[in-house]
Chains A and B, each alone.
Chain A
Amino acid sequence: MRLEKCWFCSSTVYPGHGIQFVRNDAKIFRFCRSKCHKNFKMKRNPRKVKWTKAYRRLHGKDMTQDSTFEFERKRNRPERYDRNLAENTLKAIKKIDKVRSNREAKHIEKRMKVKKSKERREAAKELEQSIHLVKPPSVLAQDPSLTLPKIKVKVSQQQTEENHAMEE
């Protein structure tokens, strides 16, 4: 029993799920569900369909090259059974999994970070360019005859009490 990868979206196909299609040249296409199967029948290229792993890897959204991928490789030569080896393998799988998921998360975070700095720069630029929509031009603002006087508003009693408390 093996877990296979769906040809279209690259998710795992568990036993009892999905469809296998064998072409005349003996190439086997496995699909995890009818969504992938139907997309395949429509001759869609998974590299162009946004939600597939193939697209994400191709466009750099997910991690592509990593040493953790080297651990999981289809081996055609069976190894002679060794209990210790089996134990170690089982433990190792868990660790490798954790490492890999951490690295993937980091990859995505790095990708997202770039946007923040870009956003900030853009905000600064917009502020500079369109400030005239909310503030009068600085020349006129400085002329006291043209500006409106500032209105002073009386503050209520409670707030002064609080200030006292803060000072102490």
Chain B
Amino acid sequence: MVQYNFKKITVVPSGKDFIDIILSRTQRQTPTVVHKGYAISRLRQFYMRKVKYTQQNFHEKLSTIIEEFPRLDDIHPFYGDLLHVLYNKDHYKLALGQVNTARNLISKISKDYVKLLKYGDSLYRCKSLKVAALGRMCTVIKRIGPSLAYLEQIRQHMARLPSIDPNTRTILICGYPNVGKSSFINKITRADVDVQPYAFTTKSLFVGHTDYKYLRYQVIDTPGILDRPFEDRNIIEMCSITALAHLRAAVLFFLDISGSCGYSIAQQAALFHSIKSLFMNKPLIIVCNKTDLQPLEGISEEDMKLIMEMKAEAVKTVIGQGGEPTNDEGVLLTMSTLTEEGVIAVKNAACERLLDQRVELKMKSKKINDCLNRFHVAIPKPRDQKERPPCIPQAVLEAKAKQAAEKEKRKTEKDLEDENGGAGVYSASLRKHYILANEEWKEDVLPEILDGHNIYDFIDPDILQKLEELEREEGARLEDEENEDFEMDGEELTPKEQAALAEIRKKKSLLIQEHRMKKSTAESRSIVPRKFDKDRKFTTERMGRQLSALGLDPSLAINRARSRSLSRRGRKRERSLDRGDNDAGDAMDMDVDQQNKKLRMRSRSRSRSKSRPPSEVAPGEGFKDSAQKVKALKLAKKSVKKRNKDARRGEADRVIPTLKPKHLFSGKRSIGKTQRR
């Protein structure tokens, strides 16, 4: 059965919102950038696309509205009538019609303007056409604004309608206002309908569900009906009338016999008679409510008579359905929703009557043959009258009996625990049932760790044996070692040799230190030839000291060195030699004089006051003449010059000057004139 679900209708936007949505969507989803330099076909295409896109969106949205709102002629007459009662069929149809017209109008507009756009010759013209098209579409929508608002209201109301299935088992409750219909439905279903002392508390239909014999029944609570001519009824009453008219249901007509609803039994009877035409073909039960206030037996004669009349009517409906005329028990019932007596009986009676009626109907219809197969329960025909009870073997019975006995006898650990003081006091000995070689060992505690080892790693049944072997091995090994110890290599150094070695090592370390110092200062230290030593490391005294440390006599070596020294090189003759040796001859007078002069110039005292010119060649230096020496000095100076390792441009690097730099000879000024450069 189709469940009418009006909750799934999409929201109908208001006119303004509608326009906003569509226009913003057009702006987002279509390209936005266009320049007047584009080809004309491209411009036309651009604007045509916008117009068409807008039209399509409008069409889509309006179509969804039209399709989702139910067509009153296509749905179940109950709903059709209900919607008519609530919203007025004509207005509803009109609104939807307007939406439809709007849709068609928009399509027409779009078609016309697209045709015009095909012949647009400039950007401006195309743009104006598009603006016009969109504007007209929006005006159309603005005009149907009120219809859209109306449809939105309807949609919201429809979504809140109770979901009543018109084809399933239904029980309808009707009667005057305040007779106790809503209280009844609250009692038998899980519905939570407002129950208040004022009339017309229930303003619309309410649905609850209840179960009877594994079947689900819909129970519909209606707003109260007053006794009025049909035309004067208001919308709320019309709801209940519609429900009564269209739903195939069991009807429970509620009667308030105590009169506390504010209406007498006579009035209620009058109502009954005026709407009894609606009870055609429906199982009818008259329910007398509020018996706690006024029991049925205690009412007056006239009222009793009226009630009997109603009952007669109700019985007629039973007959109409082919039930037995004498069975009038299920027709008039009493109950009290306050004390809850008779409520279930009423429900059961109603459900029963309805079920019977539906089954009758189904039996009469053609489709019954399909269902009939499902109802058949096959029972094998009894062969004879012999009784055949289920067979249980004897052993099983005995075992069962024994088990039962055993359960009582055995003492469990739990019992033991309870005896000895409960859970916190007694801790069960888990080792009670250990199987060991000796019973005394049961409660032994073995340590797990010893000296950084796990004891469990060592446990081995053969451990004693292995230990013995190990000890034997160890003994043998120790003996071997002792024998070995006597073999010492006699390569010891004597103390004298050791002293010499120590001295050697000391000297070596000194040399190494000195070398290291030299190496580290090499970069910043200038390389000076030995004859200019300022530390006085290359003196004969030092040499003499070192030689005497070795144990040698240095005097001979010192003399030799001194005779060969550089400062002596230039002197062919000694000073003392000169003074003493004048016998060489007068022929040498000139020489002597000259030599004397030279000597005077070159004597020791002189050498202190006048230094040697740089170009003068001393015999020991290795130069041919002073020119060579000058050149050598020059070269030496050049070698000291720092190399240009930075790859910076040097004087030698060829320079290509920029004679006409571009930035000075060209370019516009941002401000000012360029009359001169």
Contacts and interface: CB of A to CB of B under 8 A. Distances in A.
B489 A117 contact: yes
A141 B550 CA distance: 9
A29 to B, nearest CB: 19
B446 A133 contact: no
A155 interface: no
Interface in B450-466: 450-461, 463-464, 466
**Would you call the interface of chain A mostly helix, strand, loop, or mixed?**
helix
B508 A130 contact: yes
Nearest to B501: A127
B461 A83 contact: no
B461 A79 contact: yes
A85 B556 CA distance: 92
Interface in A99-151: 99, 102-103, 106, 117, 120-121, 123-124, 126-127, 130-131, 133-136, 140-141, 145-148
B653 to A, nearest CB: 52
B415 interface: no
Contact of A2 (B437, B448, B471, B508): B448
A124 B492 CA distance: 9
Nearest to B498: A123
Contacts of A131: 500, 504
B563 to A, nearest CB: 18
A117 B492 CA distance: 9
Interface centre among A97, A106, A130 (most CB of B within 10 A): A130
B552 A146 contact: yes
A145 B467 CA distance: 77
Contacts of A121: 491
A89 interface: yes
Nearest to A80: B436
A93 interface: yes
A43 interface: no
Contact of A93 (B450, B500, B553): B450
A53 to B, nearest CB: 14
B267 interface: no
Contacts of A90: 447, 450, 455
Nearest to A119: B491
A123 B493 contact: yes
B553 A126 contact: no
Interface in B479-498: 481, 489, 491-493, 497
Contacts of B454: 2-3, 72
Given A131-B500, A147-B552, A120 B493 contact: yes
A51 interface: no
B503 interface: yes
Contacts of A89: 455, 458-460, 463
B545 to A, nearest CB: 12
B452 A12 contact: yes
B552 A140 contact: yes
A164 interface: no
B444 A83 contact: yes
B467 A95 contact: yes
B574 interface: no
A74 B437 CA distance: 25
Contacts of B435: 80
Contacts, number: 141
Interface in B544-572: 548, 550-553, 556
B302 interface: no
B536 interface: no
B481 A126 contact: no
B473 interface: yes
B449 interface: yes
Given A3-B453, A133-B508, A81 B501 contact: no
Contacts of A123: 493, 501
Given A88-B463, A89-B463, A134-B507, A3 B551 contact: no
B52 to A, nearest CB: 59
Nearest to B431: A81
B508 A72 contact: no
A126 B507 CA distance: 13
A3 B497 CA distance: 55
B308 interface: no
Given A73-B457, A74-B457, A130 B504 contact: yes
Contact of B458 (A72, A80, A117): A72
A65 interface: no
B470 interface: yes
A96 B468 CA distance: 11
Interface centre among A68, A97, A148 (most CB of B within 10 A): A148
Nearest to A149: B553
A25 B251 CA distance: 73
Contacts of A83: 438, 441, 444
A1 B466 CA distance: 26
B74 to A, nearest CB: 63
Nearest to A78: B456
Contacts of B553: 145-148
A122 to B, nearest CB: 10
Contacts of A78: 456
B474 interface: yes
A72 B457 contact: yes
A92 B461 contact: no
A126 B504 contact: yes
Contacts of A133: 503-504, 507-508
A96 B470 contact: yes
B459 A75 contact: yes
B519 to A, nearest CB: 21
B584 to A, nearest CB: 36
A86 interface: yes
A83 B441 CA distance: 7
Contacts of B457: 72-75
Nearest to A129: B504
A93 B552 contact: no
The 10 closest A-B pairs by CB, nearest first: A136-B550, A120-B491, A134-B503, A130-B504, A133-B507, A72-B457, A92-B467, A83-B441, A127-B501, A136-B552
29 contacts: A3-B452, A68-B470, A73-B457, A75-B460, A80-B436, A81-B436, A81-B441, A83-B441, A89-B458, A93-B453, A94-B451, A95-B470, A96-B458, A97-B451, A97-B453, A99-B471, A103-B477, A120-B493, A126-B505, A127-B497, A130-B508, A133-B507, A133-B508, A134-B550, A135-B500, A136-B550, A140-B552, A145-B553, A147-B552
Given A67-B473, A71-B460, A133-B507, 19 more contacts: A1-B449, A68-B470, A75-B460, A81-B446, A82-B437, A83-B444, A85-B461, A89-B455, A89-B458, A90-B455, A93-B450, A95-B470, A120-B489, A127-B500, A127-B501, A136-B551, A136-B552, A146-B552, A147-B552
Interface of A: 1-3, 12, 67-68, 70-75, 78-83, 85-86, 88-90, 92-97, 99, 102-103, 106, 117, 120-121, 123-124, 126-127, 130-131, 133-136, 140-141, 145-148
